[in-house]
């Protein structure tokens, strides 16, 4: 049997929804389901640290500081849906997300977490709260975030 591993997703939402690929450092042990050992599938449980979960926003925010839309969009999974902070147009593709960030990054945004609650569990984490963008001209925009990180794996055929 062949094992298929799903991506870990990081979701930023509020005025800024989207699935972002997260970082393998969040979950150091592989989640596995081994059907050869038992008729009941088992999954190894890994509980990420709150610091590693918080670092996901920091990495995304640092990619904004590069001013490079491609580096920001590289955080997003191909099937991401982005509801941008400063646009009413939903972005479904990497090209659409890059187009949004091309204009957004010209404002020189820096994100700052204002409030946050992080909950962790077996192969998952939830980071929720509020943040503020401060732009190069001193203007600000408030936003909310819901960051969901999950780790899913399975083995076997789909019938």
Distance from C-alpha of 40 to C-alpha of 128, rounded to nearest angstrom: 34
Q: Which domains does the chain have, with CATH numbers?
A: 3-155 (3.10.450.50)
139-152: pLDDT as tens digits: 999 988 877 776 64
Backbone phi and psi for residue 71, each to the nearest 5 degrees, phi listed first: -70, -35
Give the residue with greater pLDDT, 129 vs 18: 129
Q: What is the pTM of this model?
A: 0.68
62-92: pLDDT as tens digits: 999 999 999 999 877 777 778 788 999 999 9
Distance from C-alpha of 23 to C-alpha of 50, rounded to nearest angstrom: 14
Nearest by Cα to 31 from 40, 22, 41, 23: 41
Distance from C-alpha of 51 to C-alpha of 87, rounded to nearest angstrom: 31
Q: What is the DSSP letter of 105?
A: H
Is the per-residue pLDDT at 100 higher than 50? yes
Residue 123 contacts residue 152 (beta carbons within 8 Å): yes
What band does 113 get if pLDDT is binned at 50, 70 and 90?
very high
Strand, helix or coil for residue 72: helix
Task: Please give the average per-residue pLDDT across 122-136, as a whole number.
Answer: 90
In this predicted structure, what is the pLDDT of residue 43? 63
Give the residue with greater pLDDT, 108 vs 77: 108
What band does 61 get if pLDDT is binned at 50, 70 and 90?
very high
Distance from C-alpha of 28 to C-alpha of 90, rounded to nearest angstrom: 33
In this predicted structure, what is the pLDDT of residue 65? 97
Is the per-residue pLDDT at 103 higher than 60? yes
Strand, helix or coil for residue 98: helix
Nearest by Cα to 143 from 75, 64, 73: 64
For the record, the structure tokens of 12 come out as 């930023």
Residue 118 contacts residue 53 (beta carbons within 8 Å): yes
Q: What is the DSSP letter of 89?
A: S
Strand, helix or coil for residue 43: coil
3-55: pLDDT as tens digits: 333 333 444 433 233 334 333 333 333 444 344 444 455 667 888 889 988 98
């Amino acid at each position: 049997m062949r094992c298929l591993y799903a991506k870990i997703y990081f979701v930023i939402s509020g005025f800024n929804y989207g699935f972002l690929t997260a970082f393998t450092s969040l979950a150091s042990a592989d989640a596995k389901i081994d059907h050869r050992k038992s008729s009941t599938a088992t999954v190894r449980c890994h509980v990420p640290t709150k610091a590693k979960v918080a670092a996901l926003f920091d990495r995304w925010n640092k990619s904004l500081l590069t001013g490079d839309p491609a580096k920001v969009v590289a955080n997003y999974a191909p099937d991401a849906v982005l509801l941008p902070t400063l646009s009413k147009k939903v972005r479904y593709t990497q090209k659409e997300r890059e187009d949004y960030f091309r204009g957004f990054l010209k404002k020189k945004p820096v994100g700052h977490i204002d409030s946050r609650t992080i909950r962790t569990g077996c192969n998952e984490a939830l980071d929720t709260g509020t943040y503020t963008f401060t732009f190069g001209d001193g203007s600000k925009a408030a936003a909310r975030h819901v960051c969901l990180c999950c780790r899913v794996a399975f083995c076997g055929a789909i019938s």
